[in-house]
Amino acid sequence: MTGFRVAGGGPVIPNFGQPSACLKHNGWFCTDWLSNHWGDILQPALLQHIRLTLIAVGIGFAISFLLALIGFRWRLFDAPIGGFTDLLYAIPSIALFQLLVPLTGLTVTTVEIALTSYTLFILYRNIVAGLRAATTDVSVVLPVDCPNMTAAALRELAGACRDAAVPQTGPLPGAYRKTALPALERGELSIARALAGLDVAVVELDDELLLNVNTPGDVPV
């Protein structure tokens, strides 16, 4: 007995051909491998990474914004919410996946739940801090998934602000005066419903500025 098997009379390890000189000498960075595998490995993985990140940050921002309004309005909830986001951030991703897989399986949903939970640690505390530290009468809120928004458009929203000023698409991005805080602090989970009783200016902005990017497919080519 030789101690190993052959499959169908041939070698178990397939013939992958001759490696490049860089791979053969265990080089630190092999540009030839990069160029040879950009289309089949690297580019698809990069696009998937961008898509997963944008979705996680977008959902995380929405959840954090709502939690921040609650923590800002009722300080009693600030420490527990902050502690909960700390706890989620402290769970290693592998351990979190093990907990989630029996519920959501080996799916994108499992990945997004984990990634989104990690964004809450950073976003929640920063939004609450921003609300408490704002010294101006009008604050402008810009979600991270609106990459085409310009400073001129944000100034237009701020200039038109009564209790609030929003574009034709909804409450974000938007400008909010301190007079809107009582309505935003009631714990209403919908910003649009919270603003229903306020004096809100609607500013018509170019649709391209309001482009919402959550996946690579959302970016026009």
Of 6-10, 100-104, 190-194, which has the strongest mean pLDDT?
Answer: 100-104
Please report, for residues 87, 89, 115, 151, the alpha-carbon distance to residue 92 in angstroms, rounded to integers and kept in the order given: 10, 8, 11, 38
Average pLDDT over residues 51-69: 85
Instruction: Give the pLDDT confidence score for residue 157 in this predicted structure.
Output: 92
- Nearest Cα residue to 67 out of 137, 134, 135, 119: 119
Backbone angles phi, psi at 200, to 5 degrees: -115, 125
How far apart (Å, rounded) are the C-alpha atoms in residues 138 and 144? Answer: 19
73 within 8 A of 180, measured Cβ to Cβ: no
Per-residue pLDDT band at 155 (split at 50, 70, 90) = very high
Q: Would you say residue 1 has pLDDT above 50?
A: no
Percentage of the chain exceeding pLDDT 70: 87
Per-residue pLDDT band at 186 (split at 50, 70, 90) = low
What are the pLDDT digits (tens) for 105-124?
Answer: 888 888 888 888 888 877 87
Mean pLDDT score of the chain: 80
Instruction: Give the pLDDT confidence score for residue 7 in this predicted structure.
Output: 53
Backbone angles phi, psi at 149, to 5 degrees: -65, 140
pTM, rounded to two decimals: 0.48
Per-residue pLDDT band at 4 (split at 50, 70, 90) = very low
